[in-house]
Amino acid sequence: MVKFLIILLGVLFIFACGHQEGAIQKAEKSLIFFSGNLENVIIQIDEIEPFTPSHGKHYQISPGKHVLMAYRDGKLLLNKIIILGNQVTMEIRIP
């Protein structure tokens, strides 16, 4: 009986000392949101399909350099180059 307990404790000890190795990495994404006068505004980012922004809504975009243009009634309001880091949220103010 004593041998059985010693073997059982030895096996438990071996399995209890397991070692895990690895790294947790967050997904590469950035967020932008728009403020200011968004009435009749169309946003164009790089070659992505143009969209109409909403107040309080965050839009996911990949980190890096992007060309952002904002139009109102066909007139260019804003032409910016934005550089986004990983896990960054940026506010774009529309005049």
% of the chain at pLDDT higher than 90:
64
Q: Which domain holds residue 88?
A: 26-94
Rounded to whole angstroms, the Cα distance separating 24 from 51 reads 34
Which CATH number characterizes residue 76's domain? 2.60.40.1120
Higher pLDDT, 23 or 81: 81
Residues 21-49: pLDDT tens digits? Answer: 777 777 789 999 999 999 999 999 999 99
Q: Identify residue 34 by its one-letter amino acid code.
A: F
Evaluate whether residue 8 is within a structural domain. no
Average pLDDT of the chain to the nearest whole number: 88
C-alpha 59: how far from its chain's center? 9
pLDDT attached to residue 28? 86
Q: Please state the pTM of the whole predicted model.
A: 0.68
Inter-CA distances, 30 with 26, 43, 61, 87, Å = 11, 17, 5, 5
